């Protein structure tokens, strides 16, 4: 099995967002992919909480580190529910999917 020691990379997300939001078209592009970014953030947070590297998660899922990197990234190809379930199990989580009704507009 791969080395299970997790060494987090320092990342100041607020500072990154502050810089990125100044770029033309960033806000619109980010909002269009908001759900994907939320999922990626949850996946990275869960893996960090579990103290696992991408190599370790790959070993637990029976796949490659590059597949985990692709899975944790925001791409145009959405992972299947089965893949998300395997990832959740590997990082010690349960997967929950919800459909939430829209809030009624006040108009």
pLDDT of 13-24, one tens digit each?
Answer: 788 889 989 999
What is the pTM for the complete model shown? Answer: 0.74
pLDDT of 43-63, one tens digit each?
Answer: 999 999 999 999 999 999 999
Give CA–CA dist 20/22, Å, rounded: 5
Domains of the chain (ranges; CATH) run: 13-90 (1.10.260)
56 contact partners, CB below 8 Å, separation of at least 6: 1, 2, 3, 4, 6
């Amino acid at each position: 099995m791969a080395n299970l020691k997790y060494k987090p990379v320092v990342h100041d997300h607020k500072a990154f967002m502050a810089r990125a939001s100044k770029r033309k078209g960033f806000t619109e592009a980010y909002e269009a992919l908001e759900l994907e970014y939320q999922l990626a953030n949850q996946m990275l947070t869960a893996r960090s909480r579990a103290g696992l590297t991408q190599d370790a998660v790959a070993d637990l899922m029976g796949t490659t580190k590059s597949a985990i990197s692709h899975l944790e990234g925001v791409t145009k190809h959405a992972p299947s529910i089965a893949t998300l379930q395997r990832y959740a199990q590997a990082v010690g989580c349960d997967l929950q999917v919800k459909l939430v009704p829209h809030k009624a507009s006040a108009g």
